Amino acid sequence: MKRLIAFVLAAAGAFSVHAQAPQPPEIAARSFLLLDMTSNKVLTERDADTPNDPASLTKLMTAYVVFGALRDKRLTLDQTLTISKRAWDERKGDPSLMFIDTTMTPKVDELLRGMIIQSGNDASVALAEGVGGTVEQFVAMMNRQAQAWGLKNTEFKNVTGMTEPGHRSSARDLSVIGSNLIRDFPEFYAYYSQRDFTFNKIRQDNRNLLLRRDPSVDGMKTGYTEAAGYCLVASAQREFPNGKRRLLSVVMGTASKEARASESQKLLNWGYSAFDAVRLFEGGQAISTVPVWKGAVREAKLGASGPVFVAVPRGEGAKLQTKVERTDPLVAPLSKGQRVGTLKVTTATGAVVAEVPLVVQEEVAMAGIFGRAWDAIRLWIK
């Protein structure tokens, strides 16, 4: 019978926290969330699961699906796309535009800049038709991706973020979309840091004011409709002695362009000043060595798939405790990367700071027939 066993690591993981979480700043927004992407920890939030009109923050998912098509070679950056009347009709009501028309054949690269930097609704429709065939099919692709991530408070009805019944998302869901975009498509993330773009002799500035105010901010997306208020997903990366740290903030429903920038800046500055990212283990480092039954070798090295960071209040990372929980017995064969346990990081009082999957670092093949038979007898006796 398999059983769960746990033990506290002695050396590399002996760190502890005594202080409570720092008090976050007052944020004038309908909802907000601050994510430490380095440790994958939410540092603060308010009403982060409340569905709201996401306005042009919708275009984060529009871009994610287009980037997926580029990755899968179903589209290229140099490829030109024809502009449909539907895309041209986005001019009605004077929304955000790239100012393309049906006589043009812009490149995918230009349309991406038009959508991301200029927030062009016309560019969004053109890209959606280029990838999905129709806008409706593309919206279905967006919703399938949202479902794959388990986003409970998101449903897309269009690719632009224009207000429409049932079109909704939440601060937490948008943080998932934004963080996955950064992680999955680093080669395209530079679009979000570009401060302006000129197309057809029309120059437009990126509406993310933080790109000009904070050199550590390198994205991401603004949004506004009357129903949504002023919204911003912002991401920053700053250098620290133990490496780079990336934070991502989401503010929804602020009162003005200035407010969405200033409230986002407050969150980012607080996150960097109030918390430390403590590096516990390197990626690929053996965190624990455990016995293996019926294997060609007697032990398996367990570790995390990447570096293990935890976010703790500033100056309080001195005595965190780490504990490995794994299923026993471990029976070969074991494949490299196979999850066989969990590393729990706790405070001195037992509060869980982080849970990290532990995986097999090197493949363990099955032993020969006699080795397997001998271990079968030993397991039976055990």
Q: What is the mean pLDDT of the chain?
A: 89
Q: Which of 237, 254, 271 is the last residue of a domain?
A: 254
CB distance 196 to 203 below 8 Å: yes
Catalytic residues: 56, 59, 119
The answer on 322 and 210 residing in a single domain is: no
Confidence band (pLDDT; 50, 70, 90) for 15? Answer: very low
Same domain assignment for residues 145 and 101: yes
Could you tell me if 82 and 153 lie in one domain? Answer: yes
Where does residue 24 rank: exposed (0-12), middle (13-18), buried (19+ CB within 10 A)? middle
pLDDT at 17 over 50: no
> Where does the pLDDT of residue 287 fall: very low under 50, low under 70, confident under 90, or very high at 90 and above?
confident
In a domain, 307, yes or no: yes
**Same domain (yes/no): 40, 183:** yes
Whether 39 has a pLDDT exceeding 80, the answer reads yes
Residue 18, pLDDT above cutoff 50 = no
- Whether 175 and 313 share a structural domain: no
Residue scoring higher pLDDT (12 or 260): 260
Region for residue 147 given its phi and psi (left: phi exceeds 0; alpha: psi -120 to 50; beta: otherwise): alpha
Q: Are 188 and 70 in contact (CB under 8 A)?
A: yes
- Is residue 346 pLDDT above 90, yes or no? no
Residues 103 and 237 in one domain: yes
375: pLDDT strictly greater than 60: no
> In this structure, are 250 and 303 located in the same domain?
no
CATH number at residue 318: 2.60.410.10
| Pairing, β 243-254 against β 275-281 | unpaired
Domains: count for the chain = 2
pLDDT of res. 370: 56
144: left (phi over 0), alpha (psi -120 to 50) or beta: alpha
Percent of the chain with pLDDT over 70: 89
Total residue count of the chain as it appears in this document: 382
Domain contains 314 = yes
**Structural domain containing residue 83:** 31-254
Q: 362 and 220, same structural domain?
A: no
For residues 202 and 248, membership in a common domain is answered with yes
Mean pLDDT of all residues in 104-127: 98
pTM of the model: 0.86
Encode pLDDT of 45-79 as tens digits.
Answer: 999 999 999 999 999 999 999 999 999 999 999 99
Q: Considering the domain boundaries, does residue 259 fall inside one?
A: no
